[in-house]
């Protein structure tokens, strides 16, 4: 005897679950819960979206994207859509867009019950846009800052290469903290004959940048606090100023180490890579090494002189002609690479009337 399934109490089709057929069960148990219309409050300056708990920042790439609205709507829907079943796929389709209203279609694919096949549901959502100013942009436009970072060089001006490198580091570290620290912004950058000054919204970010620059340039560091007022609870508020002073020498400059003239070839947190112009070899020193105590500034990289090889014959001294004074200097042929031919350009340094051939790189 064939046992007939009881009918669905809503439509009369054979019931499969809880007295309902598959279609009626799906209708009674939707995949998600979402309201319409929705209001999307975004920052006019950076594109951040206001959600419960605060402003959600977007990356600079997302803020400048042509599909900014899509990322903003994604953030809004993340908080407004309530999944009612696990493992659902959602697609967003733009239906119509007006000045401050966006009509979208949500297509949701999933199972209302493990025993039923997947099905698709469609939701028509109206999104109303409104604009404001997020906390970060409000502080930035108001000139807010917690710390000042000053970059100087001992007895000289910063080189163009150093300025470019420092600005790059500050920019990259600020962008990396964007969205993590709401005060991670640069309020003001100024330059003068002494160096570069950065006003930063975050003291934590300022300290982190100072750590990197101090290590990278083996620089000296000083910091002080200035009382600027009190908060609402009567607690004193301070602003910190951190001074990073680079050494007098930079990459390419000349220093004495153990009384030997050397050229600084590289600088990093591991130390200085130098080329000994007497021993004709590279070496590395750091502030913890005994050689560091003998380190002293000798000359600027601008003091190097250009020479042309006028005579390079095997077994004879090499003759070099100063490109400015046209004076001839003779050096031992062993100092010159065999691949360097007559007419080539080399560089040298003259200290106390003594000539030192510089490395080719």
Please report the pLDDT score of residue 61 as a whole number: 75
The answer on pLDDT for 1 being more than 50 is: no
End-to-end CA distance of the chain: 96
Dist CA 300 CA 261 (whole Å):
12
pLDDT band at 361 (very low <50, low <70, confident <90, very high): low
Q: In the CATH hierarchy, which fold is given to the domain comprising 250-302?
A: SH3 type barrels. (2.30.30)
pLDDT band at 278 (very low <50, low <70, confident <90, very high): very high
Residue 3: count of CB within 10 angstroms of its CB: 5
48, 42 Cβ separation under 8 angstroms: yes
**DSSP state for residue 171 in the 8-state scheme:** H
pLDDT band at 3 (very low <50, low <70, confident <90, very high): low
Dist CA 187 CA 10 (whole Å):
65
* Degrees to nearest 5, angle at CA 111 with 108 and 113: 145
Residue-wise pLDDT tens digits, 306-315: 999 998 888 8
Q: Do domains 250-302 and 304-361 have the same CATH topology?
A: no
- Residue 62 makes CB contacts below 8 A (sequence gap 6+) with 47, 68, 71
Please list the alpha-helical segments (H only) found in the chain.
22-28, 60-63, 68-80, 135-141, 160-177, 203-216
Please report the pLDDT score of residue 14 as a whole number: 86
Range scoring the smallest mean pLDDT among 3-7, 22-26, 279-283, 319-323: 3-7
| Average pLDDT for 33-58 | 89
Global pTM? 0.72
Domain 304-361: give its CATH architecture.
Beta Barrel (2.40)
> Tokens 């163009």 label which residue?
160
Q: Which of 220, 75, 209, 215 is nearest to 134 (CA)?
A: 75
Q: Edge-to-edge strands of the sheet including 281-285?
A: 281-285, 271-276, 260-268, 254-257, 296-299
Q: What is the mean pLDDT of the chain?
A: 90
The answer on pLDDT for 64 being more than 80 is: no
Q: Which of 63, 76, 67 is nearest to 178 (CA)?
A: 63
The number of C-alpha atoms within 13 Å of 199 and in the hemisphere containing its C-beta is 14
34, 125 Cβ separation under 8 angstroms: yes
Q: Which of 190, 194, 119, 358 is nearest to 262 (CA)?
A: 358
> Domain residue spans in the chain?
31-135, 143-246, 250-302, 304-361
| Average pLDDT for 271-278 | 94
pLDDT band at 65 (very low <50, low <70, confident <90, very high): confident
Please report the pLDDT score of residue 234 as a whole number: 73
Residue 127: count of CB within 10 angstroms of its CB: 21
Q: Over the Cα atoms of the chain, what is R_g?
A: 35
Residue-wise pLDDT tens digits, 259-274: 999 999 999 888 999 9
| Average pLDDT for 49-66 | 81
Residue 173: count of CB within 10 angstroms of its CB: 18
Q: Looking at per-residue confidence, does 337 or 344 come out higher? A: 344
User: 234: exposed, middle or buried (C-beta count within 10 Å: 0-12, 13-18, 19+)?
Assistant: exposed
| Average pLDDT for 238-250 | 93
How far does CA 259 lie from the centroid of its chain? 41
| Average pLDDT for 251-257 | 94
């Amino acid at each position: 005897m064939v046992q007939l399934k009881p009918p669905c109490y809503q439509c009369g089709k054979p019931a499969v679950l809880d007295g309902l057929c598959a279609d009626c069960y799906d209708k009674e148990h939707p995949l998600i819960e979402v309201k319409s219309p929705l209001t999307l409050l975004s920052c006019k300056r950076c594109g951040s979206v206001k959600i419960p708990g605060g402003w959600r920042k977007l990356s600079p790439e997302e803020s400048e994207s042509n599909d900014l609205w899509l990322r903003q709507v994604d953030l809004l829907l993340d908080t407004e859509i309530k999944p009612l079943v696990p493992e659902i796929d959602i697609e967003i389709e733009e239906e119509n867009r007006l000045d401050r209203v966006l009509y979208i279609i949500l297509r949701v694919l999933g199972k209302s019950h493990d025993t039923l096949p997947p099905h698709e549901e469609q939701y028509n959502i109206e999104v109303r846009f409104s604009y404001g100013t997020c906390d970060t942009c409000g502080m930035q436009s108001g000139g807010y800052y917690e710390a000042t970072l000053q970059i100087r060089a001992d007895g000289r001006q910063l080189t163009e290469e150093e300025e470019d490198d420092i600005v790059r580091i500050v920019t990259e570290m600020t962008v990396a903290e964007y969205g993590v620290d709401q005060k991670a912004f640069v309020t003001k950058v100024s330059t003068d004959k002494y160096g570069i000054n950065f006003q930063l919204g975050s003291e934590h970010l300022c300290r982190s940048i100072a750590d990197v620059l101090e290590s990278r340039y083996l620089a000296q560091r000083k910091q002080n606090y200035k009382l600027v007022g009190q908060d609402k609870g009567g607690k004193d508020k301070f602003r910190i100023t951190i001074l990073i002073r680079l050494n007098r020498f930079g990459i390419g400059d000349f220093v004495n180490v153990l009384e030997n003239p050397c050229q600084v070839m590289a600088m990093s947190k591991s130390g200085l890579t130098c080329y000994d112009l007497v021993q004709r070899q590279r070496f590395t020193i750091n502030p913890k090494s005994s050689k560091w105590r003998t380190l002293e500034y000798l000359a600027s990289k601008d003091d190097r002189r250009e020479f042309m090889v006028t005579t390079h014959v095997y077994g004879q001294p090499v003759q070099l002609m100063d490109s400015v004074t046209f004076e001839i200097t003779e050096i031992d042929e062993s100092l010159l690479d065999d691949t360097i031919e007559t007419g080539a350009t080399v560089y040298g340094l003259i200290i106390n009337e003594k000539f030192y051939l510089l490395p080719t790189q």
